[in-house]
């Protein structure tokens, strides 16, 4: 069964040139270091942006960048590793939400480097499916992309939907770099050498 967050358009950004961009993008940052390392705070910004009240128009790049710059102060990449695990991500994002006066819960499922420590694929799939069914985008950390050529290694992206293949493999619909890409979760799980993780926030006002 294929499913998606209900309003992908809430994450579509209007750029100054009039073009539409799928999701916030670390390339929006105004310094070289932030553009290079900013995938973590960008994914966090997408999660927060989706929670905000809908407008009768697309948010502009300038408005999106203001969110990204604020979240950067909390979800801050570290030299030599960036936001290299889900703990750095959730420590920062949770602090940001508390300072915003938000009530929230956070769920994480890690995919460790050692395969014997990983939860079964069926649990990872169910984690993803449940979040999307609840209309929650997911921050996905990929430390090694296995054989998935569309993914960048050591990179955070935003999952906005899932699709099931005729072989019952789960594909993730992902916003990354302003584009929609499709990634085979089952193959990634089987082939990734360094793992990664998935983060979901349920945010209340």
Domain containing 86 — which CATH number? 3.90.70
Residue 1: band (very low, low, confident or very high) from pLDDT cuts 50, 70, 90: confident
Cα separation, 92 vs 44, whole angstroms = 9
Q: Say yes or no to pLDDT of 73 above 90.
A: yes
Cα separation, 43 vs 23, whole angstroms = 9
Comparing CA positions, the residue from 201, 178, 164 lying closest to residue 1 is: 164
Mean per-residue pLDDT, 135-150: 95
Taking residue 46's Cβ as centre, other Cβ atoms within 10 Å add up to 28
- 3-state SS, residue 168: coil
Q: Say yes or no to pLDDT of 181 above 80.
A: yes
Q: Say yes or no to pLDDT of 205 above 90.
A: no
Q: Give the domain extent around 74.
A: 3-204
Average pLDDT along the chain = 97
Which residues, including other chains, have CB under 8 Å from residue 128's CB and lie 6 or more apart? 138, 159, 162, 170, 172, 185, 198
Domain count, the chain: 1
Which residue is it, tokens 């997911």?
Answer: 138
The whole-number pLDDT of residue 81 equals 84
Q: Say yes or no to pLDDT of 16 above 90.
A: yes
Which residue is it, tokens 């694929």?
Answer: 121
Residue 120: band (very low, low, confident or very high) from pLDDT cuts 50, 70, 90: very high
């Amino acid at each position: 069964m294929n499913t998606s967050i209900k309003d992908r358009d809430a994450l579509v950004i209007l750029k100054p040139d009039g073009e539409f961009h799928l999701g916030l993008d670390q390339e929006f940052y105004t310094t070289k270091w932030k553009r290079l390392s900013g995938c973590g705070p960008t994914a966090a910004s997408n999660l927060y942006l989706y929670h905000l009240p809908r407008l009768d128009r697309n948010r502009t790049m300038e408005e999106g960048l203001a969110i990204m710059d604020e979240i950067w102060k909390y979800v801050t990449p570290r030299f030599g590793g960036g936001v290299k695990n889900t703990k750095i991500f959730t420590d920062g994002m949770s602090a940001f939400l508390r300072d915003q006066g938000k009530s929230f819960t956070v769920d994480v499922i890690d995919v460790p480097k050692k395969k014997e420590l990983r939860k079964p694929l069926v649990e990872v799939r169910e984690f993803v499916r449940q979040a999307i069914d609840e209309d929650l985008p997911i921050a996905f950390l990929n430390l090694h992309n296995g054989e998935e050529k569309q993914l960048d290694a050591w990179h955070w992206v935003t999952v906005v939907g899932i699709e099931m293949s005729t072989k019952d493999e789960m594909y993730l619909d992902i916003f990354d770099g302003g584009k929609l890409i499709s990634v085979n979760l089952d193959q990634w799980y089987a082939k990734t050498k360094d793992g990664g993780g998935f983060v979901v926030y349920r945010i209340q006002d």
